[in-house]
Structure 1
Amino acid sequence: MPLVPSSVVDTARPYVVGLSRIAIGLLFTCHGAASLFGVLGGAKGGGTVEALSWPGWYAAVIQLVGGALVTLGLGTRTAAVICSGSMAYAYFSVHQEHSLFPLQNGGEPSALFCWALLLVAATGPGALALDTLLPRRSTSAATEPATA
């Protein structure tokens, strides 16, 4: 007999997914805020990234905006895919050239954010998301011809 009944697990699942999404998104947002505004310890070296510098500034904007969208649960899947891709890019373009393994090349945060955000994209926003408050467009209304 399982320790927790499946009905309890099924009831809790959307909330666990939602709370995980919020935690991942908030941590990702903090990275962007640190790099762009020098808060929370700032970017590496304690400062901020130079405006419009490639790829640091663009990565920080993706972290700030995408992380906020994931946190709020607004456009969650799209934002999470973009954020995950940016972390895959960061890992392969910055970290992997130093060593193959994330623990050795300093790429653990990039790898973990990449996979966590991909999981968010695959599972959806869960409970407590703003997306659930927005009205859904009907597919039949989108396929019907407009009448004048």
Structure 2
Amino acid sequence: MSVARLGFRLLVGGLFVGHGTQKLFGWFGGPGRAGTEGMMEALQMRPAKVHATLAGITETAGGALLAAGLATPVAASALTGVMTTSIRKVHLPNGPWNANGGWEYNAVLIGAVTALAETGPGDLSLDSLLGIERRGPAVALAALGAGVATSFLAVAVAGRGRPGVTSSPSAPPQDSAGDPTTAGA
């Protein structure tokens, strides 16, 4: 089962790294910092530059940690935070289904990284190699809770940015492919 967990970590972690570098550098057809800042401003995540940078760094670093199986509960928590923020700021009004711009994909990712926090990253991980692997139901619940709490904190802090400036887009911001973006996702 360790091989399956390695494959899972490489796939999901690698995709998060890709998504984060889309935000930070515009790689893989992403919007880059300027586009991500514009998205954050439209979502009233202020200061937009800070939130754009933090979202990109969190996805990139969280994905890299997950792929390596290093500090796995921390990676799960970080990725849960950005996915929860994405649900709250972009996808929730659209219902559950991804085809309608909904939150199902983000929720599946949260479930997957929480399950990995419970089972652990496996023998083929840096956590195991270094003897620092932490896993179990309490670890999974702590990672989930910390991620959700971080999202609520980020949105609350963003609500205090630049008073008097409002932006309420009539539709979710679009990425370069015309798909609804995932704020921090």
Matches within 5 A, 1:1-148: 13-43=1-31, 48-50=35-37, 53=49, 55-97=51-93, 99-103=94-98, 104-136=100-132
TM-score normalised by L of structure 1: 0.70
The separation in 2 between residues aligned to 1:109 and 1:54, in whole angstroms, is 25
Secondary structure at the aligned position of 1:49 is classed as: helix
CA distance in 1, matches of 2:27, 2:104: 22
Q: Deviations over 1:34-81 (max 9, x none)?
A: 11111111138xx64239625433221110011101111110122112
Aligned residues: CA RMSD: 2.5
Relative distance call for 1:59 and 1:105 in structure 2 (3 A) is same
Q: Distance in 1 between matches of 2:90 and 2:50?
A: 12
Contact 2:123 2:129 in 1 (8 A): no
- CA drift of 1:27 comes to 0.8
Q: Distance in 1 between matches of 2:102 and 2:48?
A: 24
TM-score by length of 2: 0.57
Q: What 5-or-longer segments of structure 2 have no aligned partner?
A: 38-46, 133-185
* Counterpart contact for 1:24–1:116, Cα < 8 Å: no
Q: How many residues align?
A: 122
State the structure with bigger RCO (CA 8 A, min sep 6), 1 or 2: 2
> Structure 1 residues 104-113 or 29-38, which shifts more?
104-113
The structure number with the bigger radius of gyration is 1
